[in-house]
């Protein structure tokens, strides 16, 4: 194998692999990328951890075909530091990879390409075109609520449910729930919803951002499902992720009907207040108290070891007074993900969940369980 390729192009290919390759693994090959020089003037760069895989093709001057697997992190670090705009890659004896750019030369220990896990094939995928901006927004509005408790594996991802011209994405960790909805065409060939893993979604986010930053007038992303995998493709790049097996809870039962008390308030002002007041809340619980009265919301926190804090926020509200406690981090996660100037906080009583919605937009709902304070 021997080829020449632009350093920025190779760096972009290797950057895609960094979040996928396993840093600590009992299978050394999973910390490697597979480099394949093809006769049609393409370098294919692939990475996998057996659950998530990415493969991309890049223009190169191929002198000799061939393939080799090398350490993803070390090759990426080397390529980022190269002195020239171009680099030559050459496979030497015993699967060494020689990297040459200007007067800089490296020889990296590699592994045989045959040892690299076979990447899944997706010849029978039924593709549906999706808007990269919409899908990226839905991932950002839900992925922060995914559970990190690995014993509840069915909550370790985002539920993806197309239904009647609408796509719903839902995440919950048992203390909060986040639901985003967007109109879509096509059913993605699914009879029921599936659970997309958090790691796969993090890589999908990068791919969608890449599509939006590509300068293409209408960046195209296609999504499909086959057997137990979700596959995303755009020109020259394919990302696949193994779906989480399990049953996602019935999220519809968790979302309360409209609360009796609807409070309209400025998103950024409320976010900044919560950040300040939670500085003196207890470390683990991040507990803050919301004291609501007509036209005014007092945000308070108390910690016997640190002291107490309070701040008043003007709101649009005319109902009965209410005092309720929440984990401030759950509220700030939602407020950071939203873009609208104002949000609506719907409350019933101090024991019922609070609901946060962007003002004037029914495409997003967050449900947050209260805390006893």
Interval 126-180: pLDDT, tens? 888 899 999 999 999 999 999 999 889 999 999 999 988 899 999 999 999 999 9
pLDDT tier at 284 (50, 70, 90 boundaries)? confident
Average pLDDT over residues 101-108: 95
At residue 35, the pLDDT reads 97
Give residues with Cβ within 8 angstroms of 332, minimum separation 6. 271, 274, 275, 278
pLDDT value for 150: 86
More confident residue, 251 or 26: 251
CA–CA separation, 41 and 137 (whole Å): 36
Percent of the chain at pLDDT exceeding 70: 100
Q: Is the pLDDT of residue 25 over 80?
A: no
Q: What average pLDDT score do residues 190-200 get?
A: 93
Q: For the whole model, what pTM was predicted?
A: 0.91
What pLDDT, on a 0 to 100 scale, did the predictor assign at position 204? 96
Mean pLDDT of 276-293: 89
pLDDT value, residue 172: 97
Q: What pLDDT is attached to residue 214?
A: 81
| Mean pLDDT, residues 99-124 | 92
**Dihedral angle computed from the Cα positions of residues 328, 330, 333 and 337, in that order, rounded to the nearest 10 degrees:** -120
Q: What whole-number percentage of the chain has pLDDT above 90? A: 79
Q: Is the pLDDT of residue 15 over 90?
A: yes
Question: What band does 75 get if pLDDT is binned at 50, 70 and 90?
Answer: very high
**What integer pLDDT is reported at residue 194 of this predicted model?**
95
Position 81 pLDDT exceeds 80: yes
Lowest mean pLDDT among 183-192, 241-250, 266-275: 183-192
Question: Backbone dihedral region of 83: left (phi > 0), alpha (psi from -120 to 50 degrees) or beta?
Answer: alpha
pLDDT at site 93: 95
Predicted pLDDT of residue 102: 93
Mean pLDDT over the full length of the chain: 93
CATH number of the 2-115 domain: 3.10.150.10
Is CATH 3.10.150.10 what the domain over 255-368 is classified as, yes or no? yes
Greater model confidence, 4 or 186:
4
- Residue range 19-26: mean pLDDT, rounded: 84
Residue 111: what pLDDT?
96
Tokens 């090959």 label which residue? 29
What residues does each domain of the chain span? 2-115, 128-251, 255-368
pLDDT at 115: 95
Owner of token pair 């839902």: 170
**Which residues, 6 or more positions from 172, have their beta carbon under 8 angstroms from its beta carbon?**
145, 147, 155, 178, 249, 251, 254
When pLDDT is cut at 50, 70 and 90, the band that residue 124 belongs to is confident
pLDDT of residue 65: 96
Architecture of domain 128-251: Roll (3.10)
pLDDT band of residue 184 (cuts 50, 70, 90) is: confident
pLDDT over threshold 80, residue 282: no
Residues 6 or more apart from 9 whose CB is under 8 A from it? Answer: 58, 59, 60
* Domains 2-115 and 128-251 belong to one CATH topology: yes
What's the whole-number mean pLDDT along residues 81-103?
95
* Confidence at 24, pLDDT banded by 50, 70, 90: confident
The pLDDT of residue 155 is: 94
């Amino acid at each position: 194998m021997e080829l020449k390729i632009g350093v920025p192009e190779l760096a972009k290919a290797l950057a895609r692999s960094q979040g996928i390759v396993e840093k600590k693994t009992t299978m050394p090959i999973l910390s490697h990328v597979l480099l394949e020089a093809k006769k049609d003037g393409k370098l294919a760069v692939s990475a996998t951890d057996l659950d998530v895989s990415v493969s991309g093709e890049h223009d190169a001057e191929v002198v000799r075909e061939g393939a080799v697997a090398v350490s993803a992190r070390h090759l990426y670090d080397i390529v980022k530091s190269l002195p020239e705009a171009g680099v030559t890659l050459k496979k030497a004896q015993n699967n060494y990879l020689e990297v040459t750019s200007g007067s800089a030369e490296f020889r990296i220990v590699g592994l045989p390409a045959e040892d690299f896990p076979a990447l899944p094939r997706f010849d029978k995928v039924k593709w549906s075109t999706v808007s990269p901006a919409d899908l990226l927004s839905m991932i950002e509005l839900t992925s922060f609520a995914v559970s990190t408790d690995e014993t509840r594996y069915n909550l370790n991802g985002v539920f993806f449910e197309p239904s009647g011209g609408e796509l719903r994405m839902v995440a919950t960790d048992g203390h909060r729930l986040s639901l985003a909805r967007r109109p879509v065409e096509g059913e993605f060939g699914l009879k029921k919803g599936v659970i997309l893993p958090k790691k796969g979604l993090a890589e999908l986010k990068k791919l969608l951002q890449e599509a939006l930053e590509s300068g293409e007038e209408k960046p195209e992303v296609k999504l499909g499902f086959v057997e137990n995998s979700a596959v995303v493709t755009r020109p020259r790049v394919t990302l696949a992720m193994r779906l989480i097996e399990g049953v996602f809870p019935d999220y519809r039962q968790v979302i309360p009907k409209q609360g009796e008390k609807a409070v309209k308030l400025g998103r950024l002002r409320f976010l900044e207040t919560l950040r300040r007041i939670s500085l003196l809340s207890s470390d683990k619980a991040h507990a803050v108290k919301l004291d609501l009265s007509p036209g005014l919301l007092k945000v308070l926190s108390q910690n016997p070891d640190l002291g107490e804090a309070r701040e008043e926020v003007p709101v649009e509200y005319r109902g009965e007074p209410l005092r309720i406690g929440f984990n401030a981090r759950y509220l700030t996660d939602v407020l950071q993900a939203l873009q609208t100037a104002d949000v609506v906080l719907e409350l019933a009583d101090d024991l019922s969940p609070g609901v946060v919605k962007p003002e004037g937009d029914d495409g997003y709902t967050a449900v947050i369980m209260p805390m006893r304070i």
